[in-house]
Structure 1
């Protein structure tokens, strides 16, 4: 009985060790992690509320994944397995857009989340990203519908050309596209 118990414990330890080795093999030490960057703003702001809060920010499922997605042609995309977002893209986009807006609205509060019941004097910005794609040739397209408070729904399609189609250049161009969207929002009257 003791020999059987010892053998069982030995097999259990071996199975556990094998499982740990398998999990370690799944890790990818070559992953490169990226974030969108807040960029300085230019121009005068047309937005007048003392506080601006981001309401909903929706992303298309095609790009809302851990990997950076690059469009190859009209019918194909590739998920860059070793080039990943350091945080969920929706969260990074929200934080970057809030940072870009704050950089363009000095002296005003910009809240990354509106909350359930924003108070008086708070304008809520809702954004629906229809397309946020990086192409293999370096072209980045950000197509967004947005509304500020009860104002009209607007649509902007912004294009930025990256230096090349490599992930670092594409992410930098994506940051520029988000900054351009922030420019459009603060210029709204």
Structure 2
């Protein structure tokens, strides 16, 4: 009677061990801040709205495979949905902007590609508006930002962080010098 009970327990333990899944790793588009970051804000760039393609707006990181494939990584997640991660990262980057007055920006991400071992790409249409001049003074720009990336997911996230930083710099640059032309990436 003891042998079948031991066999059953060993079998149950082996089955439970086989069901173990890999732990989920979380990533963010907001880079770690170093040093003293006392912010003296003179102006403000408020984010009106952000949109991203629905294929990538999820908690799981989505990577491109080949010319037509996408892979949803079940153990590599954003800290929030991609649109919320992007909003948080842009708010963080734009809070250091040396702008005068109040501005608002709408961000419409057309493409958000992550290709391990190759590049991270953001193709973004953005609209900047100055609150002081009303809705008539609007600058509409399109920026394609691409950063080389290593093969790991951490490398891809760092490359996308760089793209967000560059986008924030372009928005800030356009808000600082009120011209009718878009800054070059």
Q: Do the structures match in fold with TM over 0.5?
A: yes
Q: Is the 8 A contact 1:138 1:169 kept in 2?
A: no
**Distance verdict in 2 for CA 1:167–1:154, change over 3 Å:** same
Bigger relative contact order (CA 8 A; separation at least 6): 1
Q: Which segments of 5 or more consecutive residues in structure 2 lack a partner in the other structure?
A: 1-17, 34-41, 130-136, 178-185
* In structure 2, distance between residues paired with 1:76 and 1:175: 23
Q: Which runs of 4+ in 1 moved over 3 A?
A: 25-29
- Alignment CA distance shift 1:104-1:38 (3 Å): farther
Q: State the TM-score, normalizing by the size of structure 2.
A: 0.70
Residues 38 and 97 of structure 1 are in contact (CA less than 8 Å); yes or no, is this contact kept in structure 2? no
Counterparts of 2:107 and 2:32 in 1: how far apart (Å)?
19
In structure 1, stretches of 5+ residues that fail to align are: 1-24, 41-48, 109-120
Distance 2:146 2:66 in 1: 17
Alignment of 1:1-189 (within 5 A): 30-38=23-31, 50-105=43-98, 121-149=101-129, 150-162=137-149, 164-188=150-174, 189=177
> Which deviations, in whole Å up to 9, do the C-alpha atoms of 1:79-120 show, x marking residues without a partner?
1110011211111110101111112338x7xxxxxxxxxxxx
Residue 187 to residue 78, structure 1, CA distance change in 2 (3 Å): same
**TM-score (norm: length of structure 1):** 0.69
Structure 1 residue 165 displacement after superposition: 2.3
